[in-house]
Amino acid sequence: MAAFSDPAFDDHERVTFCRDAATGLKAIIAIHSTALGPAAGGCRLWNYASDDAALHDVLRLSQGMSYKNAMAGLKFGGGKAVIMKTPDFSGSDALYEKFGDFVQQLNGSYVTAEDVGMSVRIMETIARRTRFVSGLPPKAGHAGGDPSPKTAFGIFKGIEAAVRFKLGRESLKGLTVAVQGVGNVGYYLCQYLSQAGAKLTVADIDPARVKKAGDEFGAKAAGLDDILTQKVDVVAPCALGAILTSESIPKLRTSIVAGGANNQLATSADGKRLADAGILYAPDYVINGGGIINVACEYYGGVDDAEVMNQVAAIGPRLTGIFAEAKKSGEPTNVIADRMARDIISRATAKQAGKRS
């Protein structure tokens, strides 16, 4: 693996390779930036095609977390971890405890939390060995627990903002939405959308999830290869990333792309492709920031669940500001958001340097 030459390497502060033969643990922790605070981001459990694929994913995701946390106004830098699901993967408590040991060794420069493939129970297991973990069961009157519902609520508020800006509609009633992926986040998003009167089409690798969305929300089923090309008002990608490409974008039949998946654009140039096609894109790390807002409120304490929801709801106006600036400048929304995030991080970095000098 060549970390420095990986195209996703962006002057990351630290990349830690974690290996424990006894438990079979193979993991990578990437810290992109600690300018704004400890690098925070979930731990993803995934069956990667190669070690290089895992490295590329964690580098890209950790940079996204720096931008996400900056845009959400959090006292967090950006980090991410991946645990590789190898053929002999045990998923034992000992394996997750060992991962906790590696997190603890970083002495608070990285704060882990739940991501794809993980659960609150696993986070509790990791917490046996480190205090630098969030996403634990909430205590009465405090933030905490599974961040997925908060992520979904933020996406819902972002869709409301996008629909208002692009379509001039104040209500989602009768709106058509294609949701790609109805796991934790996608399921809760469907719940919010259904309650608002939207008509749903869904797809997922797990047929049981599709059936559940159909039974509970009246959602129509679409094939995995067809969900992005549905003729709908909004496409909401809520699975894995890099699905908006030079090949897929010309096939879209929607006015808005607004969903919870990380790194939806295969390249930055795909943001311009969307804009040129007349499609409003909600930058993923802005619209899906509800979960990390919940994590931050839990980690730093002193905030109840109602205040978390208020902070998550601010994602809507934040996106409206990005949309307005993009319309004014003629630049794609992802370019606007990237510049705003980098400016926030650069100012914090300069402030740190000033204190050291």
The tens digit of pLDDT for each residue in 58-76 reads 999 999 999 999 999 999 9
Q: Are 255 and 176 in contact (CB under 8 A)?
A: no
Between 77 and 114, name the one with better pLDDT: 77
Task: Provide mean pLDDT across the span 118-125.
Answer: 94
Rounded mean pLDDT of 310-333? 97
Please give the residue that has the higher pLDDT: either 300 or 195.
195
Which residues, other chains included, contact 330 with Cβ-Cβ below 8 Å and sequence gap of 6+? Answer: none
The one catalytic residue in 80, 157, 166, 199 is 80
Mean pLDDT of the chain: 94
pLDDT bracket for residue 91 (50, 70, 90): very high
Tell me the C-alpha distance between 277 and 284, whole Å. 18
Q: What is the largest CA-CA distance in the chain?
A: 62
Spatial distance between the Cα atoms of 168 and 229, rounded to a whole number of angstroms = 23
> 148-289+316-342 has which fold?
Rossmann fold (3.40.50)
Using DSSP, state whether 221 is helix, strand or coil: strand
Both structure tokens of 303: 């905030």
Nearest to 284 by CA among 101, 93, 155, 123: 155
CATH value of 14-63+76-126 in 3.40.50.720, 3.40.50.10860, 3.60.60.10, 3.40.50.150? 3.40.50.10860
pTM of the model: 0.90
The domain segmentation of the chain, as residue ranges, is: 14-63+76-126, 148-289+316-342
Q: Do domains 14-63+76-126 and 148-289+316-342 have the same CATH topology?
A: yes
Looking at residue 304, what is its pLDDT? 85
pLDDT bracket for residue 142 (50, 70, 90): low
80 is catalytic: yes
pLDDT digits (tens, 9 = 90+) for 240-264: 889 999 999 999 999 999 999 999 9
3-state helix, strand, coil in the chain (%, to 5): 45, 15, 40
The string of pLDDT tens digits covering residues 161-205 is 999 999 999 999 999 999 999 999 999 999 999 999 999 999 999
